[in-house]
Amino acid sequence: MTEELLRAEHISKRFGGVVALDDVSLTIRAGEICCLVGENGSGKSTMIKIISGVYTPDEGDIYINGHHYKRLTPIEAIHEGIQVIYQDFSLFPNLTVAENIAINELLASGKQIVDWKEVEQIAREGLAKINASLPLDAVVETLPAADRQLIAIIKALLANARIIIMDEPTTALTQREIQSLFNVIRELKQRGLAILFVSHKLNEVMEIADRTVIFRNGKKVLDQEAAGLDIPTMAYYMTGRRIDTSAVTFEKIDETAPPLLRVEGLTLEGGFYDVSFELKAHEVLGITGLLGSGRTELALSLFGVMPADAGRIFIEGKEISIRSITDAVSHGIGYVPEDRIREGLFLDQPISDNVTVTLIERFLRRLGLLDLRTKSAEAERWIRELEIKTPSGELPTKTLSGGNQQRVVLAKWIARSPKVLILNGPTVGVDVGSKAEIHELIRQLARQGMGILLISDDIPELMQTCHRILLMRAGRIAREFRREEITEQVLNAELVAAATAHSS
């Protein structure tokens, strides 16, 4: 029988009147990839923090390497070989690769003087543990997410990790980078390490898991070997309902109708080149490609953040100039960014303020005073319309789950009734239930006449929402596909081909 490294038994945890975990047990075994799955608010993060010593359970017992703990501290967890790699990787962005890898060992040695040759030697030995190659003198903040994640994994191994917990490790990675990460994870498994892979991306769970554990509303609802589990079954256990994406219906687009948005020869040096396309009312047009393909730069250019150097933009047949965000908004263009935390929300401000921030001029009375009653009514309207789950619109936005935060970002732009809505990764970090609901909202907005540009590398998302899909490669539009003429497998193969072409 496989060695049991950790067993958490009958764990319960409450925060005030909220039950985060209710009599949950979890086992982690050596040489196993255990995927912990659940919607936002299901208790995944709370369990991670309990078994890493950050939180103390109200009830229950923890056994690690045969040692019994009622109260586990972070230092004890580290000494027992537990390492957590969070989404932000917990690195020093202003230090080099070598400094980040070596810093824990240097601190533990207690030396007062840094031996830079020793720093480089520690870093090289760390990189060799996973057969990785990174420039030792590169400053970490300049590296892509995939490289920063490798550094975090190396630091965990140098700390003699036996259990590595990865919290949503693929959020900022491309498909190609995800496959590289999976290769590293499988190699760690072969060495006998245990991996607790925490995610809500079910296609990735299908690919990487040996065993799957699902939490819902603070309870464990499934714990079984991954073989034989399919995505619909996992989605059902996560949400408690069947999510049917097979019966998605699309409104037929009038091919003879004039375009709502037309872009001709748009160019931004260093970003994209000679981009031309049309978007019609009622249409969802997908734009996909690798990171670095120019897809996000194109979105930011259309929204006035990075004005184009050349080319023409037309709205409803009229040529317009977009040199600023104000220009874009005045011409009926809205933008939902991929990073809702840093770019889309004021987390400490009330939900109602975030929802109405794009409408603030509508509530101004004489002398510049706000009509607070009208503002509050408008916020409540959109909280209801988008089914944002909150007891009060006056609560800080940071109290919401990821899916509900994304609804707030959508609400603030939908409230303006834009002609064109640009969605950059609209379901990144959103659980499967909220994801399906956001997809239906996108289709509903298109049915109402909005033109939507959807930027994503999530192939099922593109297939379930888009009428057409543009593939960008090296800053140019390489291919155009009609959804009904392509399959997920073919589109994924095209992305892989784009990755190969990009690297060659």
Residue closest to 455 by CA, chosen among 312, 274, 310, 277: 277
155 C-beta neighbours (distance < 10 Å), count: 22
Report the percent of the chain where pLDDT is more than 90.
Answer: 45
Q: Are strands 211-216 and 194-199 parallel, antiparallel or unpaired?
A: unpaired
Residue 354, CA distances (Å) to 181, 196, 238, 391, 474 in order:
36, 35, 29, 16, 36
Q: Please, what is the average pLDDT of the chain? A: 87
Q: Rounded to 5 degrees, what angle do the CA atoms 218, 221, 226 make?
A: 125
Instruction: Give dist(CA 99, CA 87) in Å, integer.
Output: 20
pLDDT (0 to 100) of residue 494: 77
pLDDT at 262 over 80: yes
Instruction: Report which secondary-structure segment, H or E, holds 313.
Output: strand 310-315
Give 61's DSSP letter: E
pLDDT (0 to 100) of residue 308: 95
pLDDT (0 to 100) of residue 6: 95
Mean pLDDT score, 321-333: 94
Phi–psi pair at 198, nearest 5 degrees: -100, 125
Q: Are strands 272-279 and 333-336 parallel, antiparallel or unpaired?
A: unpaired
Residues in the chain: 504
Instruction: Give dist(CA 133, CA 124) in Å, integer.
Output: 9
Mean pLDDT score, 396-409: 83
CATH number among 3.90.1150.10, 3.40.190.10, 3.40.50.300, 1.10.10.10, domain 4-239: 3.40.50.300
pLDDT (0 to 100) of residue 492: 76
pLDDT in tens, 21-77: 999 999 999 999 999 998 777 889 899 999 999 999 999 999 999 899 988 999 999
Instruction: Give dist(CA 299, CA 288) in Å, integer.
Output: 12
pLDDT (0 to 100) of residue 247: 55
Distance of CA 334 to the CA centre of its chain: 21
Q: Domain residue spans in the chain?
A: 4-239, 261-503
More confident residue, 444 or 431: 444
pLDDT in tens, 271-297: 999 999 999 999 999 999 877 789 999
Tokens of 351: 């939900």
pLDDT at 313 over 60: yes
What does the DSSP assignment read for 248-273?
A: ---PPP-TTSPPSEEEEEEEETTTEE
Tokens of 504: 């060659």
Fold of 261-503: Rossmann fold (3.40.50)
Instruction: Give dist(CA 192, CA 31) in Å, integer.
Output: 4
Mean pLDDT score, 293-308: 93
First-to-last C-alpha distance (Å) of the chain = 45
CA contacts within 13 A on the Cβ side of 213: 22
pLDDT in tens, 182-224: 999 999 999 999 999 998 788 889 999 999 999 988 999 999 9
Distance of CA 246 to the CA centre of its chain: 24
What does the DSSP assignment read for 369-384?
A: -B-HHHHHHHHHHHHH
445: left (phi over 0), alpha (psi -120 to 50) or beta: alpha
pLDDT at 131 over 90: no
CB 273 within 8 A of CB 476: yes
pLDDT (0 to 100) of residue 7: 95
CB 479 within 8 A of CB 467: no
Instruction: Report which secondary-structure segment, H or E, holds 83.
Output: strand 82-85
Helices 97-109, 116-129: axis angle to 10 degrees equals: 110
Q: What pLDDT band is residue 1 in, cutting at 50, 70 and 90?
A: low
Q: Per mean pLDDT, which range of 6-10, 168-172, 338-342 is the poorest?
A: 338-342
Give 399's DSSP letter: G
Instruction: Give dist(CA 271, CA 315) in Å, integer.
Output: 22
Instruction: Give dist(CA 24, CA 217) in Å, integer.
Output: 11
Instruction: Report which secondary-structure segment, H or E, holds 15.
Output: strand 4-15
Residues 6 or more apart whose Cβ sits within 8 Å of residue 221: 214, 215, 237
Instruction: Give dist(CA 156, CA 498) in Å, integer.
Output: 33
Sign of the CA dihedral 44, 49, 55, 56?
positive
Q: Do the two domains 4-239 and 261-503 of this chain adopt the same fold?
A: yes
Q: Are strands 468-473 and 261-268 parallel, antiparallel or unpaired?
A: unpaired
Instruction: Give dist(CA 420, CA 236) in Å, integer.
Output: 34
Residues 6 or more apart whose Cβ sits within 8 Å of residue 479: 470, 471, 494
pLDDT in tens, 86-115: 877 788 989 999 999 998 887 777 777 888
pLDDT at 385 over 90: no
Distance of CA 467 to the CA centre of its chain: 24
pLDDT in tens, 230-259: 888 988 888 887 766 555 666 778 888 899
pLDDT (0 to 100) of residue 504: 46
Instruction: Give dist(CA 51, CA 198) in Å, integer.
Output: 13
More confident residue, 87 or 154: 154
